[in-house]
Amino acid sequence: MVSSLLDSKKRKHAHGKKYKESRTNRYERKINRAKSRVREELDLFAWNKWKYAEQDFWIDPYVDTVHRIDYRKVSKQEFIDQYEAPNVPVVITHCTDEWPAAKCWNEQAFLERYSKDMFKVGEDDDGNNVYMKMKYFLDYCQHGAKKDDSPMYIFDSGFYRDRKKNRASSKKRNDTASTSASEQDDHVDRSKRSKKQPCSSYTTLSLLKDYQVPDYFTDDLFRWTGEQRRPPYRWLVCGEERSGTGIHTDPLGTSAWNALVKGHKRWALFPPGTPNDIIDPPMKPHDHEGVSWFAEVFPKLQARTDPSDPRTLGEKLGMVQVLQRPGETIFVPGGWAHVVMNLDMTIAITQNFCSPTNVEYVYLNTRHSRPKLGAKFYRQMKKLASKYPASDFAKIATKLDTLHFVPQIPPSSSSSSSSSSTSSSSSSSTSLSDLEALGPNAVSSTGSETDLSDGTCMCKKCKRKRKKLERQKLEHPSPSKS
């Protein structure tokens, strides 16, 4: 174990021969380095201290009572009238039938196509993203993740970006060593394999071509604010059993859809207004992870405390359980708190959205949490309404005008989705010092942003500027006045 964590520089044997690191040691070292950064509070031997791998978290199908509709038979307007407008969760079947992802999103294809590409598996204590090559991550899923309580998993909003170009600069920022002998060997092996394998022509950008946004969710109004300003909204999700997200509500009041291509997911959802102290209580010494929630909090919701009422506490609260199967897409309405755990190796794509149906709720939350984004969104809707007076934009602008004198409402949650490798609480409030202490790349566990009550912008660009100014002040302090 100790040798696997040593620097990968060439070492000499007693006979003077150069030592070449074995593949097994290199993979173990890369994986352990990522685990140490993602969960700095945990010793490498403490990742399985709760022995969750010995528990069975599968649920019986009869517990899942959520309605299921056939994408091929239910029109968009029917979906809006029956589920989106009433704010009711639903599982949609046959959404992914024609997707290329339905055939090529699996471990073997990912290893062949994206072996050397970097994907986000969490954040360190300074808020810097932690990345792993796909080949290391898949090796971890096949071995170490089988024992870990809450394994690392890919939860990446920039999955389509080519991070190879910035690899050298990111290594420098993270205080890592220069290119090792083993990485040079990797480069040589890659050049050899690229001539043999047609899969080498794939780039991460092709992942965007492997799926299509279902027609129910194509009205993405936030896109009119620009890609630079809008919060992250789509994520590639990939991980082994017991990985997942802790209890949370999606940011800015947005709704979401999650299409599962491979594997099974377990969901528990709670309607808006559910007491947060019941569904999201302090969990120390346990982590704020999906598996911890199902192991420690969920059993309490199964209790029946009233002899005159046969319902469990969860049933009284309106808890909805879902066993999501391959090829199914779940619709999560805005304001619904939910917790998700993977039951086996899963691969999914998920997106948050603002539509004409939920625009009022999203706008009120956005105006409170991100005033600048809310103001820009309002201006864009008014501009589009004047340009296309007979379109839906005119109706949307009218809705927003009616909210002009509505008092600000608190956001439905103070934090957004969090990956299993990041411990956070959706009920905690965050100050400027708390957020900026996370570092220049820190936003939230999923990259969403929030403007503070004093109007301080918390987008990545503004935070980097403030961090740069702080570093300049430290490097060149102004002379003290005598």
Q: Is the confidence at residue 202, as pLDDT, over 70?
A: yes
Tell whether 286 is covered by a domain.
yes
Q: Is the confidence at residue 71, as pLDDT, over 70?
A: yes
Mean pLDDT of the chain: 82
Tell whether 455 is covered by a domain.
no
Q: What is the pLDDT of residue 459?
A: 54
How far apart are the C-alpha atoms of 290 and 295, rounded to whole Å?
9
Tell whether 296 is covered by a domain.
yes
CATH number at residue 223: 2.60.120.650
- Tell me the residue range of the domain where 334 lies: 25-164+204-353
Q: What is the pLDDT of residue 166?
A: 58
How far apart are the C-alpha atoms of 84 and 335, rounded to whole Å?
12
Token pair for residue 35? 């685990």
The model's pLDDT over 203-233, given as tens digits with 9 standing for 90+, comes to: 899 999 999 999 999 999 999 998 888 889 9
How far apart are the C-alpha atoms of 287 and 150, rounded to whole Å?
9
Tell whether 77 is covered by a domain.
yes
Q: What is the pLDDT of residue 478?
A: 65
pLDDT-derived band at 167 (thresholds 50, 70, 90) equals: low
Q: Is the confidence at residue 480, as pLDDT, over 60?
A: no
Domain count, the chain: 1
More confident position, 321 or 8: 321
Tell whether 17 is covered by a domain.
no
Q: What is the pLDDT of residue 189?
A: 45
Q: What is the pLDDT of residue 63?
A: 93
Tell whether 244 is covered by a domain.
yes
Tell whether 288 is covered by a domain.
yes
End-to-end CA distance of the chain: 55
The model's pLDDT over 378-419, given as tens digits with 9 standing for 90+, comes to: 999 999 999 999 999 999 999 999 998 888 665 444 344 444
Tell whether 175 is covered by a domain.
no
